[in-house]
Structure 1
Amino acid sequence: MTPPSASLRRAARSAERLCYAVGAVLVLSGLAHLVVFAVDGGPWEGPVSWRKPVTFGLSFGLTLMAITWVTSYLRIGSRVRNVLLVVFAADCVLEVGGITLQSWRGVPSHLNMESAFDSRVSMSLAVGGGVLVVLLSAFAVASFRRRPTGPAGMGLAVRSGFAVLIVALLSGAAMIARGVVLTRTGHQEAAYHSTAPLKPLHGVSLHAVLVLPALAWLMSLTGWRDGTKERVVFGAVCCYAAAVAGAGVWALMTY
């Protein structure tokens, strides 16, 4: 009879392989649409452009792979982690799929209530965004409840990465909320452009959960003392926090 621990390890590896594979497909989708943009042309900015399937494919793919890797350092039950990762992967596919579908249809993906079908797509993306907030917040809470494992500086890197990721989630929620209010009050065109001030903040804060732990891992390959590694990671966290603060100030000044 197979020991329960062995079964859990196999399930964890299967969930990780699935998430890495899905993440890779999403990244390839983003790159493929970059080729489509190069061939088809059109505007890069605006509610209808090839930019959206490119950036969302790349961002969601990288984030999915980053979360899969980073959560391996969390002190969290294997079953819980596996379920959260698989749901997260499915939600990433939903988000990128809906955005890509609307781009090929030549209509806005978010905040689009022009038809019944567009409204359903827009609402599914909004609900998917809510699911993302819940899942990633659960991982963030786990990182602060018990110190993450890993080499010197990894605990700080993981916790800081998730803390900054919360900023990305909040800024994304603010963009959606602002856009929905404008849409519901009859200002559809203004809704499409209302998200611009928060996009830099959202984009910068989204990938700290990959950049900071990756730096801590790179430090583990050096022969430096643990204290030096931790100081390097701490300095990187401060620099990243300054970049996020700068993006936040810019958003406040232009909102």
Structure 2
Amino acid sequence: MITTSPPARALEPRVHWHRPLIALSAAMVAVVLVSAIGLLVDDRLINGSPAWSKPLKFGISFALFGATLAWMLTLSRRARRTGWWAGTVVAVISIAEMALVLTQVVRGKTSHFNTETEFDDTLFNLMGQMILILWIATFVVSVVVSLQRQQEPATTWAIRFGLGLSLIGMLLAFFMTDATPEQRAELNANRPVTAIGAHSVGVPDGGPSMPVTGWSTTGGDLRIPHFVGIHALQALPLLSLLLVALAAKHPLLAKASTRLHLTLIATAGYTATIALLTWQALRGQALLHPDTTTLTAAGTLIAVLAIATTAVLSRSARSGRPAPPTC
């Protein structure tokens, strides 16, 4: 009697997407739509920005965050229960955080750094505590996902470094919670203050800003490295997947070690960029108005990355074309 084995695909475990994180992304898409309508019909300004701009930006960021973590958890085969619970905490806390942001928008109040009333102060402190829980839960998800090696080494390390840099980007928000020199002077004089902390450095929040992002054009803005750091979660894995997709048509990328080295160079460049943007912001310097020192540092970084990339591709060209990638 002749028996046949089932196809290999049938033997693979079913991939279960993390439903709470997918629900988070779906809820944030709804928030984005509501916020977009709010921008059209509500002309209120909160601290110099359109009232619905913050939930719009937060909604987009949280939607990407939830979808990315949900995808990454499908790649994990170890500690899956731990990853599921940590991902669920991420989803619940993220939705609760957005609920507080929306509450303040409806009230016409700023949600961050607001100490104007006891209620505002309580909400801001609660948001800070929830962000800490969110960071810890994201860290646990990162550990679970990082335990798994992917078939493509570049993707394995892109995911690991993307998660790590995203966690660092989240921590950069704590720079914003420190009182500004002006706020500290008021506190030392026992005078009431309506805010403790700020996005901007060297200038008050609510001044001239870039369209869409709202980043300051007259001083430093810590939201910039915060944003860039958090979205390493998407940028680095996408780069590695792009390199794999291009490898079949471009002989220089056909070797797995070449793709890995290019990913590591990009990671180093991304890390240095976060550091450079943080340094620039802390010096009270607007993104679009860098001084000579900042331009020199940026130029040096670009030159180093270009030399390293050229060296990797040159070595790949000399070594010849291996078999195309399997993933």
2-structure distance, mates of 1:47, 1:128? 25
Distance 1:32 1:150, change over 3 A: farther
**8 A Cα contact 1:48 1:106, kept in partner:** no
Q: Which residue identity does 1:41 align to in structure 2?
A: D
2-structure distance, mates of 1:173, 1:13? 35
| Residues 1:165 and 2:166 are matched in the alignment | yes
Deviation per CA, 1:35-67, whole angstroms, max 9, x where unpaired? 311332344864773221111111112111112
Deviation per CA, 1:57-79, whole angstroms, max 9, x where unpaired? 11112111112222334564111
| Residues 1:212 and 2:213 are matched in the alignment | no
Report which stretch shifted further, 62-71 or 40-49: 40-49
What are structure 2's unaligned runs of at least 5 residues? 1-12, 202-219, 249-253, 286-327
Distance 1:170 1:193, change over 3 A: closer
Structure 1 residues 117-196: aligned runs within 5 Å: 117-142=119-144, 146=147, 148-178=149-179, 182=183, 185=187, 186-189=192-195, 191-192=197-198, 194=200
**8 A Cα contact 1:126 1:176, kept in partner:** no
Aligned match of 2:86 in 84, 87, 107? 84
Determine what percentage of the aligned residue pairs are the same residue.
23
What are structure 1's unaligned runs of at least 5 residues? 1-8
CA shift, 1:142, in A, is 4.4
| Residues 1:241 and 2:271 are matched in the alignment | yes
Which residue pairs with 2:43 in the alignment? 41
Deviation per CA, 1:162-211, whole angstroms, max 9, x where unpaired? 221122122112323447x9589343346345576311110111110111
Normalised TM-score (structure 2) = 0.65
**8 A Cα contact 2:176 2:199, kept in partner:** no
Which residue pairs with 1:203 in the alignment? 227
2-structure distance, mates of 1:59, 1:178? 26
1-structure distance, mates of 2:60, 2:41? 19
Specify which structure has the higher proportion of helix. Answer: 1
**8 A Cα contact 1:22 1:89, kept in partner:** yes
Distance 1:46 1:189, change over 3 A: farther
Which residue pairs with 2:284 in the alignment? 254
Normalised TM-score (structure 1) = 0.81
Distance 1:188 1:205, change over 3 A: same
Aligned match of 1:67 in 69, 72, 81? 69
Which protein is bigger by CA-based radius of gyration?
Answer: 2
**Secondary structure at 2:135 match in 1:** helix
2-structure distance, mates of 1:143, 1:82? 11
2-structure distance, mates of 1:108, 1:117? 12
RMSD of Structure 2 on Structure 1 (CA): 3.0
**8 A Cα contact 2:154 2:260, kept in partner:** yes
Which residue pairs with 2:208 in the alignment? none
